[in-house]
Structure 1
Amino acid sequence: MTRIKGIRIISHNSEDHTCKWATGYPDVPGATAMTAAMKEKVEERVDAFLGQEGDGPATLCGGAPAGTEAARDAELNVSFSFLVASGDVLGVRLTTVQAPTAGDGIDTRTYWYDGKDKVHKSAPELIADGSRNAFLTAVQERLKKKEGADPTLLDDPADHDFSLDDMAFTADGDLTVVFDRGTAGVPAGGRYSVTLPRTTVSPWLSDFGMRVQKQTVSPSTGLDLGATDAPAPPVPTHTADGEDTTDCAKVKCVALTFDDGPAAPYTGTLLDHLAQYDARATFFTVGQNVAAHPELVRAEARAGHEIANHSWNHPDLTRLTPAEIRSQLTRTNAAIEAATGKEPTLFRPPYGAINGKVRSATGLSPVLWDLDTEDWKYPDASRVAQSVTSKVDRNDVILLHDIHATSVEAVPGILRTLTARGFHFVTISHLRDTL
């Protein structure tokens, strides 16, 4: 995928094992309208999951009363993947997984941005207005061949922005249409997809659709959506001064850990804070964020910090199959190794959720924590700092997040106070090796 200058990943999650939800989507310079559309959909899903209206308190978790066993079994996860980011077109697929639900609980939607006309486009707009009837007929003919499918569910044009909301080209220029459970057949039939060959679909494409197809098949060397150039946050260049020689058997140590990043600009600011106190930390990174910001992960490693694995898109690993667990962790390890040249040995399961199945699916060593700042719940820098300085003990592993501005703002106070008390800040592996 083309490296996207100035990209930010908008990440939010609860980190609460009693109500698990995590969301992530990209904010690409120039594609403001598309980002707004994704933001609206993601917030709508989270509010519905939490039974929340406006700024009111959450009353539910996945449809169950908050605090109940059913709520603890619920989970919402929204992740993203790039379909094309080239020339003057951008395509993103959001994948939403919710549990417990009937079936697989998965629904997907593609978002498109036209840099030429500077507008957000829906998936059906890949097809020219005058060709939509022919396109729909071809899709319905292919659906007839699939057991349980009901092509007549697509007859109402008013529903097409919903039923035809996931369309994308293959590397060969074919067009694949994916239907969520119940939109093109009986719910028991699950999700359906049909693929129209390039030779069939090409005459029906809109001007935008033709450009998307071209950039998918033969990507340009860069992405240009006409965004006004803005200075990117500088990437810190701190370099570790040799190996850490701290002996935690003789002095007071503490391990600061930061989950869910890297995040621009917060992670860069955090690295500056840590460097001022010669503090080393462990970053439990999310794979989709590593892929977007490898330069920040390299900066972490260069400064002597430890890079570890926090899954690809922050699901509850205990809900997944062994193959899915391995995929979450191996994809993230590969992204980290590509950025730093070194493969991680540690992982932290999202929400701290781990069982025998998860342990058996990976050779990575799990890391939990001793002190949870709950910084995701209380966006108050002074409160976050106080939650550490008032409770910390020698050799504690402290849980923080580098996706929240207030958490990063709390770090100088933590470093200053604990340094004055004689604490040394080390990585997880160093703490383990010297005790």
Structure 2
Amino acid sequence: MERNNHPRGTRNSRREKKKRVFSKKLAFASILTISIILICGGVYATYAMQHKPKEASELEDNSDFEQKEAALLTKIRDSQKQEELESTEQEKTEGNIQTLTYEPAASDSIPQLEAIKTELATLMTATEKDSSKKTAIKLVGHIKMLKINDQVIGYQPVVDTYTWDYNDEDWSEKTEMGKNTAFVNQKTKQPLTLQDIFMSEANILAVQQVIEQTLLSESSDGNAIIDSILNMPEISLDGTAFTYYSDKISLGLPENPTGKTEITLPYKDIAGYINPEFVDPTAIQGALPEPLDPNKKYISLTFDDGPNPETTPRLLDILKEKGVKATFFMLGQNVVKHEALVKRVAEEGHEVASHSYSHPQLTSVDAQRVKDEVQKTDKAIYHAIGKLPTDFRPPYGAVNKEVAKIIGKPIIQWSVDSQDWQSHNAQAIIKRIDETAYNDTIVLMHDIHPETVDAVAAVIDCLRNEGYEILPSKELLGKKAKPLHMYYGSKDERPVQ
């Protein structure tokens, strides 16, 4: 084995040499790093000095700021002068924030002015609190007039915030609208009411039907809550909270199983029950069918007391073959027994309506019995087709105002009686309708009689030969029949007495 014969002194010399080289490199790296830091720091300092936000005190000597401030104030004041709502200005300045508040000069023109002013003041205070104290700010509070149409004017609190941007050297703008708008009936100069919009108890009852169906449709299990929905207290013209919009309305709801405290209905969904003068016309455009052609003849075929598993299917086959849609006023007790048949009636485009549950004369029973007859049928039909019936035909046509109020649906009577219930003869039925039919009328028949079904094809042919177009009763009445009213045809509407 060879030995390492290098003396120890030589190894130490090499080690010292390496240390000196490393020290030089470390010193050079340190100097380089410090130099880079100094250079970057200098660049940043120069940039920061050039872009340093000016304090408000520095703006006093900034002629460009002063010119743009003057131009902004001129723009704000000119804009207010051009508003239809004449106003007076109140100005105050605290620190960097200048506040301009505009209040209507004619305070008596806005009955809710104090409430609007309170909301405007609250909005101004909140905006000022959230604003920066280190820059120039203009807060402009005013009440904006919104002209919905000739009958409705709205007044809404608005706050415009103008903030001076030091980098762009100009004003940025942000607008915040108040949550509440006060609407005024231009006829009465009073706050807008549900009476203005819906006009009558009959119309608000019709809206109640829409609310019930909407709540059921939005529920995951309508059948589980239908009793509570049908027994929910009615909304009223004078006791219901509401929020008005030009294209819809939000109505406060009584306690109900859905937990909803209000419901919003587009006007197009309730177009037949509102005063069009108080809504945006575009909101209900096309919502109702075109009026019937005055140069044409119309008639409606209606069938009572079904459905009947022996006769109703055959009737549906005939109607389908002839391309006719009719209205079926069904008994709840028969609906429960023949749900599939009820579903077929609806699926084939016919109207499913109510004729009570067991066919009593409703004017001769107590109020609770009337309510039960109506609600049990509503539930049966809803269970069958997922929709509540909207129209009602009282057995024997017997109804008075008290009964009509409990029913809460349009009362569809008839003007042409086929007397099929009396004759039980197909030819007699055909002859009777042919001799008594006239324009815009409703024909009464019963789909539980075989002879009626035997006569229907010929009845349809005779009516068409005489120039009639056959419509379901809802379409004949323009989809705007309302509770507390009876309908014998499209031109024969009578309040229930």
Fold-level similarity (TM above 0.5): no
TM-score range, shorter chain: 0.3 to 0.5
Give the structure with the higher percent helix. Answer: 2
TM-score normalised according to structure 2 size:
0.38
TM-score normalised according to structure 1 size:
0.43
Structure exhibiting the larger radius of gyration computed from Cα positions: 2
